[in-house]
Structure 1
Amino acid sequence: MTSYEPATGQLLWEGRAGNVDDAIDLARRAWPQWAAQPLATRIELCRRFANEVRKESDRFAELIARETGKPLWEARTEVESVIAKVNISVTAYAERTGQKKLDSALGGTAAVRHKPHGVMAVLGPYNFPAHLPNGHIIPALIAGNVVVFKPSEKTPAVGEFLAGCFHRAGVSAAVIQVLHGGPEQGKALVAHPGIDGVLFTGSAQAGIAINRKLAANPGKILALEMGGNNPIVVIDTPKVSDAAITIVQSAFTTAGQRCTAARRLIVKASMYDAIVHEVKNLADRILYAEPFAEPAPFMGPVIDNHAADQLTESFLYLMSNGGRAIKHMTRPDDNLPFVSPALIDTTAMAERPDVELFGPLLQIIKVDDFDQAIVEANNTRFGLSAALIGGSPQDYNRFWANIRAGIINWNRPTSGASSKQPFGGIGLSGNHRPAAFYAADYCAYPVASTEMEQPRASIGVGIREERRRKPR
C-alpha cells in the first residue's frame, strides 16, 4: 500500500495490508481484560492519550496537512478536536450511560447499568482522518470495548499516527489496532463473525452496502455516519455580505470535502442577484494552494486525481443538462487534484441529480417564496444538514419544524457542528445512530436489573389452599 501527498504527488507512506483474522483474534483475546478494568482506569488512559496528542500536535497537524492536502491551519483545528474529544466523551458517557438505581423497600433495587459490546470495527474516512474515527474510538474504549480501526486507504499514515498516540499513552496495541487495507479488508472486517459492532463514517454507497450485509444479523450494533446533499436557504436579509461569507464557509471549507458541506444554495428570487453576485465575488478571491503556502490558503486540493476528475465531469454534466455556469470549475494542473471553487445555476434543470458531489461545487436554485424553498430543500433522499439565512424567528421555527435533517442551523454554516451535540442525519445520511455526544449510546447497551440481597417471595392468588394434617 502507498499514500501520496495530494498537493505535491510525492510518496508519503508505504505499508502492507493487514490480516483481518489475526487482528480480530488478538482483539477478542484482549477484550475481557480491558472490559474488566475500572472505568476510572480506562478514562485515565484516554486522558494520557490526549496528552500524547498534545505533545505531538505540531507533527500531527503537519502529517494531516500533507496526507489530506488541507491547509495547515485547518489541520491544527482537527488535532485540537482530537484532544477535546476525550473530556467531551467522559461527560457524555456519564450523562448518556451512567448507572442508575431506584430503591423500593419491598421490591428491592431497580438498577440500570451498561455493558460494552465487545470488539468494534471502526472504518474511518479520509477528509478528517484523525478526528472522525477518534470520535468513535474514544467512546468505544471508555465504554470497555476494544477496537480494530481501518483507516481510509487514502490516509493510512494519519491512522497509524493516531493509533501510535494511544499505544504511547499505555493503551495496549491489542486494545486499539490499526488494520490497513482497501475495500477487500473493509468488507472482510464487516462480515467477520468475531466483530460485535461496526462504526462507519463515509459515503452513502459504502454505508448502504454495509447495512445490507448486516441486515440479517441484528446482533451487531451498526452506526452509519454518511454524507448529504445539504441545502442552505436564503430568504430576506439585509446582511448580504455576511450571508455570502456563511455560504462560502458552508460550501468550500475543506475544499467542499465535508459531509455537512452545502451542496445546494436555494435563494428567494428577490435576493438572488445580490446574493449570487456577492458569493461569486468572494469565491473569485479564494486562495487555493498547497497546505504550507504563504499567505495561507483557504482550501487545498481534493484528495486525489480521481476525485478531481469526477468533479470536473460532474460540472460538465450539469452544464450539459440545463445548468448555467456562474463560476467555472478549473483545473490548473492535470497532474495534481487542485480544482477551483465552482458555482452553477441548476434552476432550469428538469431533473437535478440527488447525489453528494464531494468537493467545491455549489448548485444554485432560484425559488419564488419561502414555501417553495422548503419544498426544494427537502427534495433529497439525504437528511444530514440544513441552514436558513435571514428571516425572522417565526420563519426559523417554521424552517426547523419542516426540514428533514439531523442538523438545522439559523444564520450559521451548514458545517462545523459542535462535538457537544449529537451529530447525525436521516434518510441516506445515517441510520438514526447519531455520533459526537450521542456516540456513547451505540458503544454500550443498557442492562435492566431488579435485585434483593435475600430471596423473598409470595403468591397471593390462584394457589389451592394447603391442607393441614389432623393431629393423631
Structure 2
Amino acid sequence: MPKMFQSISPLDDTVLFDGPESTPANISQAITTARQSAILWHNTPLSQRIQIARNYAKHLSDHRDEIRELITSEVGKLPWDADAEVGAAIGKIDLTVNALEQRRSKTVIESGNLARIVRYHPLGVALVLGPFNFPLHLPGGQIVPALLSGNTIVFKPSDQATAVGKWMIDAWRQAGLPDGVMQMIQGGVEVAVNAIDSPLINAVFLTGSRAAGRAIHRQLAGRPDVLLALELGGNNPVVVSDSIPSKAVADLVTFSAFVSAGQRCSCARRALFIENSDCETHIDAVVQQTRSLVVGLPGDETVPQVGPLISTLAATQLRKTYDTLLAHGCRVVVPWQVNPRRENLVHPAIVDATKCTDTQLAAIGDLEWFGPLLVIQRVADFDSAVSAAANTSYGLAASLLGGTSNMFETFVNSVGAGVVNWNRPTTGAAGSLPFGGLGDSGNHRPAGYHAIDFCSDPVASLQSPTETESFATLAPWDVVK
C-alpha cells in the first residue's frame, strides 16, 4: 500500500490535500512520460509555447481570488501577501518572454562567407522541487523559463503545499499545455530522492534550505551531466547608519525581518546598528514597532500584520533557534511569545548580540532559521558594520539604511551577497533582475530574470555557405581552437 500524507491548513487544521505519496513506480512513470514528450515539446514553435504561457497567466488573472484564498488556506499567508504572490506569478510570464529574447535567443554574426551562430537547446527533463512559502510563484519562476526553453517538467510541490501545486498543474493544462509536458509527483523527501536518482533526469531545480541543497549536491556527485540550480536560504544582514529617520528605520527593519512571518529566504535575520548619535533612537524605534505589530489570522477583525508559521513543528524549531541564540550569549530584548490561540502563531522576537564574543558571533552567522526572529548588534563604525554583516557563510540578501552613495558602493562590493539594497528592505527584489545568493545561499545559478540562463545549453556553430569554401580564406582564429 502506498504511504498516505496530508497537507493541513496552519490556520485551522483543515485537511486541504489527502492522498497517496508517489511510489517509485509512479515516479518512474512520470519521468518517462516527460522524457517521451520532450521531442514533441521542443519542436513546438516558440510562439505556441509563449501563447500557452500567456493563457496560463490569463487563467491566473481570471481565477485570482480562488488561488489567493487557497494559498492563504494552505500556507497561512495573509490575503495581501497571497495576492501579491499571484501578481508576481502572472508577471513572470512576460518577464520570461523578455528574458528569453534578450538573453537566450539565437544569435547570428556574419563575416564575409562565414556565419558564427549560437543556438540554445533545452536540457531535457527538469525536476522542479518547490517550497511552501511561495508555493505558486517560486516553482513558477523555474517552470516558466524551463517550459519556454523547450524542457519538459516533473514537479514535486512541497508536501505542505500540495493543494496549491495540484491547482497549478491543472491551470497549466487548462491553458493548453499538453498532458505529457508537465507531470506532478507528490510526497516528502523520499519522493525527491527517488526522482533525483533517475537516469532520465537532466536537471534539478531546488528552492529550499542549505541542508537540502547540500544533500542533493552530494546525491548528484559523479553526474556532471545533470544541471543543478540551487536557490537556498540566508542569514541576511541589514546595516543601519545615519542620515535616515528613525520611523523609516523601524518600518524597513521590521518589514525586512517579519514580513510573511519571517518565512522568506530574503528576510533580515541580523540588524547591525552603527554607534552614532542616532543609534539608540533607531534601536528603540525598531523595538517599539516590533512590540506593536498585530499578530493574528486572516479574517481577524483587527487586520494582522504578522500571520502564522506553516506548522507547529516550524514554531518548535524556531524556538530551538531562539534558545540557541541565548546560549550563544544573546540578551533578550523582545521575548519569545506564542499567541494562546494557536501554537504556530508566534510573535516577533528580538535578541541582542552586542556583547557576544567573536566566536559566538561567527556561530550566529552560520545559523539558518525561518520565522519572525531578529538579532540586533551595535557596531563601532561603518567598516565594522560591513565586516559584521559579511560574517556569515551565507550570501543571499543585504541592505544598507542611510549612509552615502560611496558607503553603499563599498557595501555592495564587500558584503558578499547576491541581492544588495539601499534604503529598501532585504526582501525587495525586482522581477527584471537576477535573484540568487553567494556562499551557502546558492550555487552560482541565480534565478529571477536570469533563471532563463540555466534552462538551456548554448550550441556554437561555424557555417560556410558552400562545401567548396576554401579553408585558406578563413581567418585561422575562427577554426583553430
- Equivalent in the alignment of 1:359: 371
Alignment of 1:362-373 (within 5 A): 362-373=374-385
- Equivalent in the alignment of 2:202: 196
- 2:395 is aligned, of 374, 380, 383, to 383
Give TM-score scaled by structure 1 length.
0.95
- 1:90 is aligned, of 89, 92, 97, to 97
- 2:294 is aligned, of 249, 272, 287, to 287
- Equivalent in the alignment of 1:16: 20
Secondary structure at the aligned position of 1:122 is classed as strand
- Equivalent in the alignment of 2:478: none
- Equivalent in the alignment of 1:320: 327
Deviation, structure 1 residue 335 = 5.0
1:414-434 deviations in Å (ceiling 9; x for gaps): 003111100001100000100
The CA distance in 2 between the partners of 1:132 and 1:189, in whole Å, is 20
Q: Which amino acid aligns with 1:205?
A: A
- 2:463 is aligned, of 434, 437, 451, to 451
Whether 2:231 is the aligned partner of 1:219: answer no
Deviation, structure 1 residue 293 = 2.2
User: Runs in 1 of length 4+ with deviation above 6 angstroms?
Assistant: none
Secondary structure at the aligned position of 1:15 is classed as strand
Q: Which amino acid aligns with 2:69?
A: E
- Equivalent in the alignment of 1:126: 132
Partners of 2:268 and 2:426 within 8 A in 1: yes
Q: Structure 2 vs 1, CA of residues 302 and 105 (structure 1 numbering), >3 Å: closer, same or farther? A: same
- Name the Cα RMSD after superposition: 1.4
The CA distance in 1 between the partners of 2:299 and 2:103, in whole Å, is 41
The CA distance in 2 between the partners of 1:263 and 1:252, in whole Å, is 9
5+ residue gaps, structure 1, are: 462-472
Partners of 1:100 and 1:111 within 8 A in 2: yes
The CA distance in 1 between the partners of 2:471 and 2:76, in whole Å, is 71
5+ residue gaps, structure 2, are: 474-481
Deviation, structure 1 residue 371 = 0.8
- 2:36 is aligned, of 29, 38, 49, to 29
- Equivalent in the alignment of 1:140: 146
Q: State percent identity of aligned pairs.
A: 39
1:16-70 deviations in Å (ceiling 9; x for gaps): 2222101101111111101100100000000001111111110100000011111
The CA distance in 1 between the partners of 2:302 and 2:394, in whole Å, is 37
Query: Bigger shift: 449-458 or 307-316?
Result: 449-458
1:178-214 deviations in Å (ceiling 9; x for gaps): 1111000111111211100011100010001111221
- 2:192 is aligned, of 186, 189, 200, to 186
- Equivalent in the alignment of 2:353: 346
Partners of 1:384 and 1:406 within 8 A in 2: yes
Deviation, structure 1 residue 332 = 2.0
- Equivalent in the alignment of 2:235: 229
- 1:255 is aligned, of 252, 256, 261, to 261
1:261-312 deviations in Å (ceiling 9; x for gaps): 0000011122331111101111111112112323321121111111101112
Deviation, structure 1 residue 215 = 2.8
Whether 2:188 is the aligned partner of 1:176: answer no
1:320-372 deviations in Å (ceiling 9; x for gaps): 33211110121123853110001100122231321111100000011001111
Alignment of 1:417-432 (within 5 A): 417-432=429-444
- 2:119 is aligned, of 113, 120, 125, to 113
Partners of 1:116 and 1:444 within 8 A in 2: yes
Q: Structure 2 vs 1, CA of residues 279 and 146 (structure 1 numbering), >3 Å: closer, same or farther? A: same
Q: Which amino acid aligns with 2:386?
A: I
- 2:7 is aligned, of 3, 10, 35, to 3
Secondary structure at the aligned position of 1:438 is classed as helix
Whether 2:336 is the aligned partner of 1:329: answer yes
1:371-394 deviations in Å (ceiling 9; x for gaps): 110110110000000000011111
Deviation, structure 1 residue 146 = 0.5
- 1:244 is aligned, of 245, 250, 257, to 250
User: How many matched pairs?
Assistant: 460
Secondary structure at the aligned position of 1:448 is classed as strand
Partners of 1:9 and 1:336 within 8 A in 2: no
- Equivalent in the alignment of 1:47: 54
Whether 2:286 is the aligned partner of 1:274: answer no
- Equivalent in the alignment of 1:300: 307
Q: Which amino acid aligns with 1:398?
A: T
Partners of 2:244 and 2:401 within 8 A in 1: no
- Equivalent in the alignment of 2:168: 162
Query: Bigger shift: 452-461 or 307-316?
Result: 452-461
Q: Which amino acid aligns with 1:327?
A: V
The CA distance in 2 between the partners of 1:375 and 1:163, in whole Å, is 45
Secondary structure at the aligned position of 1:325 is classed as strand
Deviation, structure 1 residue 10 = 2.0
Q: Which amino acid aligns with 2:142?
A: H
